[in-house]
Amino acid sequence: MSAQTPSCQLLDRPAFAEDPDFAGFYAVAPPDDPWVWHAAGGVISADERLLSRSRAAGRPAVPPLGVQEEAVPAAVLFWPKALKLAGWWLDWLNRSLPDSTPLAVVGEHGGGVRRAAKMLAERGMAWEKRDSARRCSVFVSETQKSAAPAEEAAWQTFGIGEVTLASHPGVFGHGKVDEGTALLLDTLESELGGASLSVLDVGCGDGIISAWLARRGHDVTAVDVSHFAVEATRRTLAQNGLEGRVLASDVYAGLEEGERFDAIVSNPPFHQERNIDYGPAGRLIGQAAERLNRGGQLVLVANAFLPYAGPLERALGKFETLADNRRFKVYRARKA
C-alpha cells in the first residue's frame, strides 16, 4: 500500500520498515494514510474516526484516556504540531506502555519534529536519529516509566464569565475562548432564549457552549470526534454542577438512528493539523435536516472567508446571517 503523507513515506524506507524491533507497531496519533492501515498492528488515537476505522478492520483501537497499561510490541508517535500535545503523548507513552517498549517519533520538519530530540532528552530518554528524507525525520528511543508525570498534571481549569472550563492539550482553544465562539454565544443570548429546547452541540471542545446552554435550561447533547474534548466537556459540566450527555462521535455518527433535536449549534472545525478540511462542516450542514425536528434550527459560527452559504442553501434552503464582525459570521437556517 503506497504511503501518501511524507511521514509515512519516510517510514516506508528500509531504515525503519526493515527494523524487527518495530514489527507490529501501534501507530500513535497517526494521519489518515492508507499505509498506516497496511503497516500498523493497531492504532492509539484520540480521534474517534480513526478508532472506528481500526475497529471496523478488526484491529486494536486504543483511546488514550483512562488506560492503565497497554501491552504493545512497539509504538510510532506521529509528531503533532502542538508542542504541549506532543509532550503529553510522550508522557502518556511512558506512563501507559511497558518499560523499554521500542518507540519511534516521526514528523515533518515544518511541524516541529526536530524538537523531539530535545524533549526526549529532557525526559532522560536516550535517542538516535534513524533516518531523514522528504523534509521529515524519524527518531528512535524506548519508553521509560520513571519519566512519566501523573495524568492529572495535564489538565487545566480556568474561568470564563459564568463558567469554569476544563481543558487539555489537543482540545480546540486550549486554555482560552476563541473569538468565533464568543460571538456565537453573544448571538445565542438573544436568539435561543425562551422555552427549554433539545440542543445538539457539535464539536463541543472544552464544553463552553454546552455549559452555556445547560445553564439556561436546555437539554444538551454534546459530541466531538476528539476523546480529549469529550472528557473536557464532561469535566466542565460536572465542575459547574450541570447535566448533559457527551459522546465521542464524528459529527452525527455516534447518535442513535432517527434521533432529532430542536436546535444544532456548532463552531465547526475546518483544520486537520495544518491542512484545511471541510469534511466535518460539510457533514454537519449536509445532514442537518435529518437531525432536526420540524422548525428546528442550525446555528453555526465560521470564519468569514469560509464558503458555507452554498451548502446551507442546498441543505436547508433559506438562511440568515445573525452576526458579522468581518472576521466571523453566525449563520442560522431552519428546517421547513
Residue 59 and residue 29 in contact, taking contact as beta carbons nearer than 8 Å: no
Mean pLDDT of 66-93: 91
Q: Is the pLDDT of residue 274 over 50?
A: no
User: What are the tens digits of pLDDT across the range 200-222?
Assistant: 999 999 999 999 999 999 999 99
Of the pLDDT bands very low, low, confident and very high (cuts 50, 70, 90), residue 149 is: confident
Instruction: Pick the more confident residue, 199 or 151.
Output: 199
Query: Residue 278 has what pLDDT?
Result: 64
Nearest Cα to Cα of residue 38 among 62, 59, 61: 59
pTM for the full predicted model: 0.93
For 57, which DSSP code? T
Listed in sequence order, the residues at least 6 apart from 192 whose beta carbon sits closer than 8 Å to its beta carbon are: 199, 213, 216, 218, 263, 265, 299
CATH number for the domain formed by residue range(s) 6-149: 3.40.50.150
Instruction: Pick the more confident residue, 307 or 272.
Output: 307
Query: Residue 271 has what pLDDT?
Result: 46
Q: Is the pLDDT of residue 5 over 80?
A: yes
Residues constituting the chain: 336
Give ranges for CATH 3.40.50.150 in the chain.
6-149, 155-334
Which run of H or of E encompasses 38?
helix 34-39
Mean pLDDT of 289-313: 94
Mean pLDDT of 160-180: 85
Q: Which fold has domain 155-334?
A: Rossmann fold (3.40.50)
Q: Is the pLDDT of residue 273 over 80?
A: no
